[in-house]
Amino acid sequence: MIRQQITVRDGLYYSFIKQLPHCVVNENLPRAHTRLETSETSLDQEKTLTTIVYVLQTVSLFTGIPMFVAVIVNYVTRGRVSGTWLDTHYSWQIRTFWYSLVWTVLGALTMILLIGYLILGIAYLWLIYRIVRGWLNLASNRPMY
């Protein structure tokens, strides 16, 4: 039998046996470590940056510009948290931006029909929910998903 080892994102090593159609997890092998898993200081710095993004999203409730800054920070620094629990917060924050942008544009376009005000109100409440839920999970050191 020919075995081939690969590392997957969750840090486990998987052994594939080429002649058999199944995959065997070999738990005796060491876990792969990312730079953030090996350095608590780096993880704390990235958690602080994630908190700053939540602050920017909160400020954007009053003016929209900080939301654009927040999503740029997310996209630029996302590679540093790949494979850690903070990666789920980055995904949460990025999705929050894109969905809130879509609903805000849709609400603005339909304001003439008066339904736009309802859409904007619901989008505003939804944005508050996303920020609060994300920030609470971050403070508890829990992933979003």
pLDDT digits (tens, 9 = 90+) for 116-125: 999 999 999 9
91 has a pLDDT exceeding 80: yes
137 exposure class (CB count in 10 Å sphere: 0-12, 13-18, 19+): middle
Confidence class for position 110, pLDDT limits 50, 70, 90: very high
pTM surpassing 0.75? no
Q: What does the mean pLDDT of the chain come to?
A: 81
pLDDT digits (tens, 9 = 90+) for 60-86: 999 989 999 999 999 999 999 999 999
